[in-house]
Structure 1
Amino acid sequence: MNDEEAARERQAVAKRKDRESREQTPTTSEKSLTRKERASVAEHGNLSPLTVYSVVLREGEDELRRPNTSLWWSGVAAGVGISTSVLAEGIIRANLGSDHPYLTLIESLGYAFGFVLVILCRLQLFTENTITVVLPVLAEPSRNRFYCAARLWGIVLAANLVGTFLTAAISVHGGIIPADTFVAILEISRHVAELTPAEAFLRGIPSGFFIAAMVWMMPSAKGSEVLVIVMFTWLIAAGDFTHVIAGSNEIFTLVLNGEMNILTGLVFHISPVLIGNILGGTGLFAMLAYGQVHEEM
């Protein structure tokens, strides 16, 4: 470690000790409380933005160090798991019927199933990494960190798409999904395919923002993780926004069913959503999240 790095490390330690000292010092109103009562206040108090940032930052640094093989198989599993969202939507639509007055609002609850599965299983979903692995890069920009982030993004995105393609192939050719459910899945997929590239891109921006916000809220949502995931993924589906990985399963379903060319699906449907999700998750939320704590670090 050179002198500059040692000085930076000492400065970081000093800041951390000062912050811990301030957090541990009771306020005027707390001085009248017993130690047990002060511990209860601390337990039920909200996490500060800097604390949340530190938790997400640490997770991002851990992800950047994971080996390629681990990222790949976790990403494939996430692609398979997120396809549960489309399956659940199809099951709800098949049972309610396409003419149900509240079909969209009820059907959108099914969209949350795949996200709950993927996030609670700690699988690698590309849109989560638009904030998680970006914060370490913003905190310490370097050629190595840019390389590690690009490596992770590339592996996870490719693995997610392989996973959704496999589940689409099983849905189309596996014969394991009831006919009425498969018809409902095709109806949902055709609706996604009707969007122009510009519409797909613009609707991908809010989705990227919501997913990044969801990741940011997780450290503060202990015990309520499922509720947070369901709320925001329902909002994505009910608002008719687009998500690159869940949407890729719908596009691949149409490709494998002979209704769309694979190149058309990748270029005019998946790519615009991908760019929109990155812009919403990294360009908007990650920058804003970093900006609000930058001066406190």
Structure 2
Amino acid sequence: MLAVLQQTLAITAPVFSMLFLGVLLKRLRWIDDAFINTASSLVFRGTMPTLLFLSIINADLSTALQPALIGYFVFATLVCFFIAWSWAIWRCPQADRGIYTQGAFRGNNGIVGLALATSMYGDYGLSVGAVLGGVVILCYNVLSAIVLAIYSPNMKADPWTLCKSIFSNPLIIGVLLAIPFAYWKIPLPHWAMVSGDYFAQMTLPLALICIGGTLSLTSLRESSGVAIGSSLMKMVWLPLLATLGAWAFGFRDADLAILFLYFASPTAAASFVMARAVNGNYQLAAAIIVITTLAAVVTTNVGLLLLQWAGWV
């Protein structure tokens, strides 16, 4: 268990370092609001779609393709999404409902979940995690686009506008463009892959610096109640429900542990980028990311300890 704790810290510490770097750069006035606006737009429209595109075309979709595992993950994701949304309707101000919902169900599986799965189960964890990651990308982005569009101050919530917001979302476009390349194994020129990789590698540092530059004690104070509620939903209640459901459906050992790690991942940095893109309460989105990333060091290890104690993994 100490090894898992060290691995979790090794993954989350660089994330926090980049967040605090954003805070420091804003204090030193090396970056300003104009930079944050431009960089967030670049991540949303360019670097993150490129990252998603490359991650899918590089994945071996035939490896560890388990319909039952994927089917349960999609089902549980939908259930968690609707639970979070229903709770947000009951407990949150209308303007914050989309941000709360996205923060409560959208996990950072590409960094935290996949890295921990690979650390614990080697090639099997990497292959299963990569296949789940492709499903995650599509589910999370479609559901987030829907709920953010409904509560966006700049958009109407009619069916046509919702469909338009989904299919015009650069993240979803990146995923959809990648599917035929991955399925038919269409090769891209070496120079295009290398250049695309250079471009995509800017995604996480830029997004985290922007989040850090947005954080302030005032914004954290103002959003603390909603942010803590969303964070508890993301890190405690929904992983508990989804993992117990997976056990009830018969998943055990490595499969159950990988599902738990994906459900228990902290909120993804992409939630901030999407919140900013629709002119939502991105300060709240930033606060949720910070709280859940910090909480992951504790909740992930406690969850794995309980699963091992019960003899399920």
Tell me if both proteins adopt one fold, taking TM over 0.5 as the criterion: no
TM-score scaled by length of structure 1: 0.34
TM-score scaled by length of structure 2: 0.32
Which has the larger Rg? 1
Larger RCO: Structure 1 or Structure 2 (Cα < 8 Å, ≥ 6 residues apart)? 2
